[in-house]
Structure formats: structure tokens, C-alpha cells
Amino acid sequence: MAKDWTKIYKKYKGLWVALLDDEVTVVGSGLSLKEAIIQAQKSGYKDPIFMRVPTEIIPFVGGLCY
């Protein structure tokens, strides 16, 4: 099922975020991965999912060509 990251994109554009297993609840963020890890650990989460939120949305149409 697709996740709606619209709110995450608007609030955390260009930052690293730590997400819970539901992939939408942010438990930490920062300019670097290390900052997001530290924030998540301070919030009590030791094994979240990490991702860097893009600075802009670039449409992609197509697939791989061999």
C-alpha cells in the first residue's frame, strides 16, 4: 500500500528522518543521519527506519532499459 508522505515532505524537506515501522510517524530528524539517530534514541527508539527527504519532487515515468 502506498504511503502519503506529503506532510513529511513539507516539514522535513532536505533532512534525515527516523520513522517508526508504520513509515509515517517521525521520531527524529536532523541535517545529518547522526543527528536523526541521536534524536530517535533520545525519544526512546533504538531501531527506526531512516531516510533522507528529497529537497524537490522530480517526476519519474518509465523504467529500466537494457
pLDDT single digits (tens) 10-37: 999 999 999 999 999 999 999 999 999 9
> Is 39:27 a contact under the CB 8 Å cutoff?
yes
Query: What does the alpha-carbon distance between residue 11 and residue 5 come to, in Å, rounded to a whole number?
Result: 10
Owner of C-alpha cell 515501522: 21
Break the chain into its structural domains and give their ranges: 6-52
pLDDT of residue 25: 95
pLDDT of residue 9: 93
State the sign of the Cα–Cα–Cα–Cα dihedral 53, 56, 61, 64: negative
Q: What is the pTM of this model?
A: 0.80
Selected residue with higher pLDDT from 1 and 37: 37
pLDDT single digits (tens) 36-51: 999 999 999 999 999 9
pLDDT of residue 58: 82
The 8-class DSSP code of residue 29 comes to: E
Classify burial at 36, counting beta carbons within 10 Å of its beta carbon; exposed 0-12, middle 13-18, buried 19 or more. Answer: buried
